[in-house]
Every structure is written in C-alpha cells, then in structure tokens.
Structure 1
Amino acid sequence: MSTFWDAFSPDFTRNSQLPFSSEFNRLATQRGWVVGSNRYRKEWSRCCGEEFTRQYGQDAHRLSGWQGLCADVGIKDIPSSITQCKKVLNTTWVNIVDLVECRESGRLPAKQYRSQNALREYTQRTGKIFPKKAAKRNKFLAALLIVIF
C-alpha cells in the first residue's frame, strides 16, 4: 500500500524513528513549502489524514476500533458500545497529532488535558493542529475535535 511519504521518494526518505510532524516539517523545508501556504496546508492535511488512518483505520462501525482509541487516550473503564465510546471520547481532551505520534512510538496513553481550553492553548502554542478537513474524513476523529480558533 502506498503512503503519503512514497510520493516523495527517492528524493525524501522518512525516518520512522522520528515523529511524523517533524518529518513533515523536514519534507516541507526540502520542498520549499511555506508554512501557511495553500500547498503546505494541503500536504499537511493529506499527511495527517493518512497517518491517522494508518494507525487507526477508518471503519467506524467496528467496536474494537473505538475501544482501541479509548485505551490510547487513557480511558480506564473501556465502554462496551460504540455509543458509549463516543460519549466518553467527547469529554476527553487530547491533541490528535500527539495521539498519532504516541501510538506510532508505542508511548501510550496520549496526554490528556484538563479542559478544552487547556488543550486549545497547548495546540495553539505548539502549532500541532490536525486539519479539520482531514479529521472529517475519518469518523473516529469526530469525537475528538474541538474548536481551536
């Protein structure tokens, strides 16, 4: 299966030991994509979407997928239904970029924030913003979205 990164080889080889966001920034620098430009945003959105899907899939009808997401964000009592998983995830505040990188590195659970505001502040400060367009393409992500700006 082809990945986001394959489209840029052989000129660029992703170092899988590093977080995907760092490697994306290295790729953007190599390609001359200016932060905030249309090209940068388009490629970042594609990269984020593919990385999340690679880690979690996109079959939102599978209870096991929802339960895995709950475990990865540190929920102790894993719900036994998709509806209950969504309900608990809607009140769990994690940075989605960090979540994907934690899963990829095996350093789970991802850090939870005490409130939407705390998560919003962290996300704005670090610039680790998972694109809304990419998030809306994967039903697992809808439960984790918050308004950043």
Structure 2
Amino acid sequence: MSTALVISRPSGGVSLFQPGAIDKYFQSHRSFGYTPSAEISVLKAFKRLAVNQGWNDKRRKQEKERFQAAVDTEFTARVGSGFALSDWQRLAKVIGIEPLPQTITQCRKTIKKENINIYHILHAYRRATEMKDINNIEACKDIQRFKSVGELRRYTHAHNMFYRKEFAKGSVLKGLLKQLR
C-alpha cells in the first residue's frame, strides 16, 4: 500500500475499501450469504458463520485457523509488511502516536509499547480513506489504547478478540502482539 490513510472522511478522501482476504474467506462459504463491507465486524461475522454452518468444536477450530490466516494476509496487505518506514509511520499516526518516529526502529519500539487490540486496527484500516500526505492522517478514535497489558487482557478476554501469535506472519502484526493468556 503506497498511500497514506485517514480514518475520518474529509473532503477529497477516496474510500480505500476493497474486499480482501477475509471477505474471500467468508465468500468461500457459499451458503453463508456474506456481502463484503468495511463496516462489518469480522469477528462477529466469523461467529455468525460458525452458527450458520453448524460447526462442531473440531471444525470450528480448523476454520478459525483458516480465518486467522486470512486476517494475517489482509492485515499485511492493508497495514504493510513492515519493511518500509511509511508503513510504520502510517500505523503510528493511525493509532495516535505523536511525535511521529523518524526511523523503522523508533516506530517499532514506540508501537510495541502500545496496548491495542489488533482487530481495532484492522477495522480502522478497512474503513480508511486515501490521503496522499502523511501529515493529513488523523488518529482513529475507534482504536482503543489501553493503559496496561492487564487492561488489554481483560478487554480481549471479555470480547473474545484473541489473535494467536502462530498466525502472525507480517512483521507489523507481530510487533503489536502481547501475551494475553
């Protein structure tokens, strides 16, 4: 992704939403009747899919692995691989880090300190609009920043919003993961 993002929709912004790997995963279950949308909670959609398909625990676990592989693919496609400074700076701006770090190492260290559920970031990027200038990126107000890992852990448990580290292939995604169980 070579453009900067803004989460609000200022005049001149162009919606970036295109169906991604997650949407393709849901659409592969033809009887589910899924319509891609930037506004859909992908975790709620997965839960509805499991109920719709009548999966037992074993099948649900298998499908959760396929779903999380799709999340990793889409997260990397939308947020970036982490090999470019612009990927890290864009993420820092979206989650509200100021001042903006000037190197990948600084970005990585600063972002690692944040306690944020990755699904909040994914949803923000699914709703983003294009902005050419990184200075126009605004922090997403829907991304909740927790004061501690303990707060993040309680929230994640309460909302069952876990992402297993074994599925985190993208380096930006890996940089956000915390031990929550």
TM-score calculated relative to the size of structure 2 = 0.71
Aligned to 1:8: 29
State the one-letter code of the partner of 2:140: L
Q: Could you say what secondary structure the match of 1:86 adopts? A: helix
Aligned to 2:46: 24
Query: Cα–Cα, structure 1 residues 124 and 35, in superposed 2: closer, same or farther, change >3 Å?
Result: farther
Aligned identity (percent) is 24
Measure, in 2, the Cα distance between the counterparts of 1:130 and 1:104: 17
Q: 1:48, 1:131 within 8 Å by CA — same for their partners in 2? A: no
Aligned to 1:102: 124
Aligned to 1:64: 86
Gaps of 5+ in 1: none
Query: Cα–Cα, structure 1 residues 31 and 71, in superposed 2: closer, same or farther, change >3 Å?
Result: same
Structure with the greater relative contact order (CA < 8 A, sep ≥ 6): 1 or 2? Answer: 2
Deviation at 1:34, TM superposition (A): 4.2
Deviation at 1:104, TM superposition (A): 1.7
Which residue, out of 49, 72, 83, partners 1:49? 72
Aligned to 2:17: none
Aligned to 1:143: 175
Q: Could you say what secondary structure the match of 1:4 adopts? A: helix
TM-score calculated relative to the size of structure 1 = 0.84
State the one-letter code of the partner of 1:64: S
Aligned to 1:113: 146
Measure, in 2, the Cα distance between the counterparts of 1:121 and 1:11: 31
Q: Could you say what secondary structure the match of 2:125 adopts? A: helix
State the one-letter code of the partner of 1:133: E
Query: Cα–Cα, structure 1 residues 131 and 142, in superposed 2: closer, same or farther, change >3 Å?
Result: same
Query: Cα–Cα, structure 1 residues 9 and 50, in superposed 2: closer, same or farther, change >3 Å?
Result: farther
Q: Are 2:96 and 1:74 aligned?
A: yes
Deviation at 1:130, TM superposition (A): 1.6
Which residue, out of 111, 114, 125, partners 2:158? 125
Per-residue displacement from partner, 1:77-133 (whole Å, max 9, x unpaired)?
111100000010111110001211122234814110001111111111110112212
Matched pairs, number? 147
Deviation at 1:63, TM superposition (A): 0.6
